[in-house]
Amino acid sequence: MITIQFTDALVRLAHLVQQVFGEVSREHDLTPQQAQLLCLLVDGPVGMSELTRTLNLEKSSLTGLVDRAEKRGLVVRTRDSHDRRACRIELTCDGARLGVLAHEEVARRMDALAGELPPEQRDLLASAIGGILARHAARGAATLSGQG
Amino acid sequence: MITIQFTDALVRLAHLVQQVFGEVSREHDLTPQQAQLLCLLVDGPVGMSELTRTLNLEKSSLTGLVDRAEKRGLVVRTRDSHDRRACRIELTCDGARLGVLAHEEVARRMDALAGELPPEQRDLLASAIGGILARHAARGAATLSGQG
DNA sequence: GAAAGTAGTTCGTATTGCCAACCATTGTCA
DNA sequence: TGACAATGGTTGGCAATACGAACTACTTTC
């Protein structure tokens, strides 16, 4: 097994994921960003502010992304009943269909790529990544509360 | 330990890497794409065609990226001595400095995020990713030779 | 009830990325 | 040798992406 530098491995992996995501998006006539947005919304409507955090985007960038998705009939803006400034982004039927399709297809391909890994390595990989993500989340929270 | 879906884990990890890369780039007044380009060139000059494959970009997109990087004095185009159509993209001193800096800083942060992992998990992660990348490379080669 | 904060939008600008069309050079092969 | 395909890059036009600053509208705080 070739041993590559740890960081390089992560960076290349990220690049690979981007690539798979891009291919799948294109096959469904979506931009990668739109596909990402749809995938994020399959579990239910989300507000703009939360989306900017999840997608790590400036709010004006998100406005544009949602505008274009709405124009294509993939999502709709619904007013939030508790806060009249806020809105919730919700999938249309079309959007939901595409979101699920794209998500499944990406999962299928990533699974195919990881298919050779023995199951226990696979689980370990998932949990190791879970640890990294958790650490990053904690780090982010600490930074926000002034410990950075 | 929270168990997340395998694909989701990979996608989120990719997203995290993107984020770190973006932060570091910005701190050095680079766009993520420029930083990526510089990092790719630290080992020596590379031709446009090879770069399109590595970066998974259309050739015209790469022309633009290199144009802007050249305008900023980060890289230069040198003619290839064996093929008068081709050129090699080479770092300037400035570009090399920034490329190394960015690469080191990204590595530092990824290491920090992975720091809590026990060493054996870390190695496993690296080699598992290596396997995935190798599989993808093989798959790509097979596709190119008509077995896709 | 004024001031400060939060949720989103608008506007202007640079970058990214694709495609089709193109030029120049190199390779093929009849 | 000389046409013709293939390869390496560029150009031009276009849509999408992303940022920052300025703005509106609503909510919270004091």
Residue of B nearest to A21 (CA): B11
| Residue A2 pLDDT greater than 60, yes or no | no
Give the closest residue to A30 by CA, choosing from A88, A101, A110: A101
Q: Which two tokens stand for residue B51?
A: 């770069």
Give the closest residue to B133 by CA, choosing from A13, A111, A24: A13
Q: Which two tokens stand for residue A88?
A: 């919730």
Give the percent of chain A with pLDDT over 90.
Answer: 66
Average pLDDT of span B61-80: 98
Average pLDDT of span A68-86: 97
Listed in sequence order, the residues at least 6 apart from B12 whose beta carbon sits closer than 8 Å to its beta carbon are: A129, A133, B4
Question: Around A136, how many Cα atoms within 13 Å sit in the side-chain half-sphere?
Answer: 19
| Residue B19 pLDDT greater than 70, yes or no | yes
- Whether residue A113 and residue B16 make contact (CB cut-off 8 A), yes or no, is no
Helix B93-114 and helix A6-27, axial crossing angle in degrees, nearest 10: 90
**Bridge partners for A86 per DSSP:** none
**Is A33 within 7 A of strand D by CB distance?**
yes
* pLDDT, position B55: 96
* pLDDT, position A120: 78
Judging contacts by C-beta atoms under 8 Å, the chain B residues touching residue A136 are 16, 113
- Domains of chain B: which residue ranges? 13-113, 117-148
Judging contacts by C-beta atoms under 8 Å, the chain A residues touching residue B114 are 6, 132
* pLDDT, position B118: 78
Question: What topology does CATH give the domain B13-113?
Answer: Arc Repressor Mutant, subunit A (1.10.10)
| pTM score of the predicted model | 0.90
Residue A4 confidence class, pLDDT cut points 50, 70, 90: low
Residue A72: what residue type?
A: R
Residue A14 confidence class, pLDDT cut points 50, 70, 90: very high
Average pLDDT of span A79-102: 97
Q: Cβ distance A42 to A99 under 8 Å?
A: yes
Q: Picking from A8-12, A123-127, B86-90, which range would have the lowest pLDDT averaged per residue?
A: A123-127
| Residue A142 pLDDT greater than 80, yes or no | no
Compute the CA torsion angle B1, B2, B8, B13 (nearest 10 deg): -40
Chain A nearest C-alpha distance from B75 (Å) = 22
Q: Which of A1, A17, A42 is the best substitution to test chain B (most B C-beta atoms within 10 A)?
A: A17
Per-residue pLDDT reduced to its tens digit, B83-99? 999 999 999 999 999 99
Question: Around A104, how many Cα atoms within 13 Å sit in the side-chain half-sphere?
Answer: 7
Question: What is the rounded CA–CA span in Å between residue A65 and residue A5?
Answer: 36
- Whether residue B125 and residue A15 make contact (CB cut-off 8 A), yes or no, is no
Question: What is the rounded CA–CA span in Å between residue A125 and residue A113?
Answer: 14
* pLDDT, position A71: 97
* pLDDT, position A146: 42
Question: What is the rounded CA–CA span in Å between residue A118 and residue A103?
Answer: 23
| Residue B144 pLDDT greater than 50, yes or no | no
Q: Cβ distance B128 to A28 under 8 Å?
A: no
Judging contacts by C-beta atoms under 8 Å, the chain A residues touching residue B9 are 125-126, 129-130, 133
* pLDDT, position A129: 85
Question: What is the rounded CA–CA span in Å between residue A125 and residue A130?
Answer: 8
User: Which A residues 18-77 have CB within 7 Å of strand C?
Assistant: 22, 47-49, 59-60, 62-64, 66-67, 77
* pLDDT, position B139: 67
Average pLDDT of span B56-65: 97
Residue of B nearest to A125 (CA): B125
**Is B18 within 7 A of strand D by CB distance?**
no
